Chains A and B, each alone.
Chain A
């Protein structure tokens, strides 16, 4: 089959690889009908997250049709079922899965010793996202083996196009959880840093959860226009002061709720010297993340407020203003999203016509064009916001 394979920094190729096989009775194989490039795939493209090996198949936003099931799937899936595959592989049986904390499943990371060394404890296995999270082959391919398939799936009905359902795999529940973690009140101002695909979903989620005002921060006109269409007031951080503008929009009080949808690769610019220092330290491996957004959120957030982190961070962040964080009594909530916790509610909202996540797609191309689209997406060429690949 064809698959997008990581060969090194900025080197992803569309290779011919062997087809996946059932390895365990709980496995299923799907024929991929749609998959997408995620913003967090760019961290791997840039080799900023350790644990990738040449030959790893990329991709964790995937859906398709079940073509084979193992004997242990126990009737929960049958050939021909249409499923979205959550990026987190879950067993459905461990203590964390029973609590609904699916992204920290205690069972599915098959290389848990690596994660335990780096993070202290292991988290769930993830598709196509380094050997720290199991080294599972990803879904930017024609076929995908789904481990623990009896639990790791979202069955979706026929009649709704892939484009509306595909983002259950990651970005829609990620944006949703980022907003839910904020405990949004009807009087709240929610400020969202980063208007990429997850940021766009977080904006819509905050609106659906009843925020009084949503403010979106980015520097790309196409993303800001999409944010505005979704109901956000926008701030272009290249032309406006984020701190001053947020204070203007909140009568000097600051936003009650702040969401980070930018993560470890915050924009680097001369007017923000901390971003230059972070980039320099990142290059010589003195720091793994560029946490400018976290610093800014702590600075602007209203005392007593909540900071929700949906953007991916990989390791160590320097110069965190813990004094402000502690003295302002802020709360920080983080985590990879617990996909299956939210999908019943989100599927109902799609079926009811409350939201259509396909609005975010700007490019749909064959899988074979995937490598070039990584560059287009990274360079923000052709007003690219979200790429869907068709195997």
Chain B
């Protein structure tokens, strides 16, 4: 079976013949996709805020759009990291801000209010996806209150802790013991 990674193997090192199951769950792939989407959207908002405000009929709000772009990029980076759950919750919060900003532009005198309605619909869908992904990627660490198995009998000293301590003291007290 062809595996791309085999190309970079040093001659003679083991090569993959057959891949085993991946640890990645579908929700991890969704989180990854949302992370890249967030970075892409953030880049558009940051570098082309006028196109965004023009499309939505919200001219004059370029600084806000740019700030939202920075927020999107940061949330995307966190979503792609091992702390993806925090990134996804940040995206859920960001979706709320996006919706609020869009609603503020949904006025009767806005000729592009149709675009805003469409954008709100998309934000709603993405919010559901973000929320679901955030729920599904909850860290599986046990809570602080969770019951733990304790190891009070694992001293590692077969002859006992007291014996280990006294052995060390005897060596230290020996007249030939070297002191640095």
For B24, B150, B171, the residue with the greatest tally of chain A CB atoms inside 10 Å of its CB is B150
B18 in contact with A371 (CB, 8 Å): no
B83 to chain A minimum Cβ distance, whole angstroms, is 7
Given known A210-B168, A354-B164, contact A18–B14 (CB-CB < 8 A): yes
Given known A53-B5, A230-B155, A279-B83, contact A17–B17 (CB-CB < 8 A): yes
- The stretch from A150-158, A250-258, A319-327, A380-388 touching chain B is A380-388
B169 in contact with A221 (CB, 8 Å): no
A229 in contact with B151 (CB, 8 Å): yes
Which residues of B are found within 8 Å of A204, using beta-carbon distances? 156-157, 164
Flag whether A23 is at the interface (Cβ < 8 A): yes
A7 in contact with B18 (CB, 8 Å): no
Bound CA span A335–B160, Å: 31
Could you say which interface size class chain B belongs to? 35 or more
Contact of A208 among B23, B152, B167 (CB under 8 A): B167
A21 in contact with B156 (CB, 8 Å): no
Which residues of B are found within 8 Å of A284, using beta-carbon distances? 74, 77
The contact string, 1 if C-beta is below 8 Å from chain A, for chain B 146-172, is 001111111111110100110111011
Bound CA span A135–B83, Å: 27
The DSSP consensus for interface residues of chain B is: loop
Could you say which interface size class chain A belongs to? 35 or more
Which residues of B are found within 8 Å of A249, using beta-carbon distances? none
B77 in contact with A354 (CB, 8 Å): no
Flag whether B2 is at the interface (Cβ < 8 A): no
B20 in contact with A135 (CB, 8 Å): no
The contact string, 1 if C-beta is below 8 Å from chain A, for chain B 1-19, is 0011110111111111111
Contact of B20 among A185, A230, A371 (CB under 8 A): A371
Bound CA span A279–B144, Å: 21
B158 in contact with A207 (CB, 8 Å): no
B21 in contact with A13 (CB, 8 Å): yes
Bound CA span A226–B154, Å: 6
User: Whose C-beta in chain B lies nearest to the C-beta of A228?
Assistant: B152
Which residues of B are found within 8 Å of A11, using beta-carbon distances? 22-24
- A residues within 8 Å of B by Cβ? 1, 3, 5, 7, 9-21, 23, 46, 53-55, 57, 110, 135, 137, 141, 145, 183, 185-186, 200, 204, 207-211, 220-222, 225-226, 228-231, 238, 279, 283-284, 353-357, 359-360, 362, 368, 371-372, 374-375, 379-383, 385
Closest 10 pairs between A and B when the two form their complex, measured CB to CB: A55-B5, A210-B168, A359-B156, A383-B149, A225-B150, A13-B20, A54-B5, A17-B14, A14-B20, A16-B18
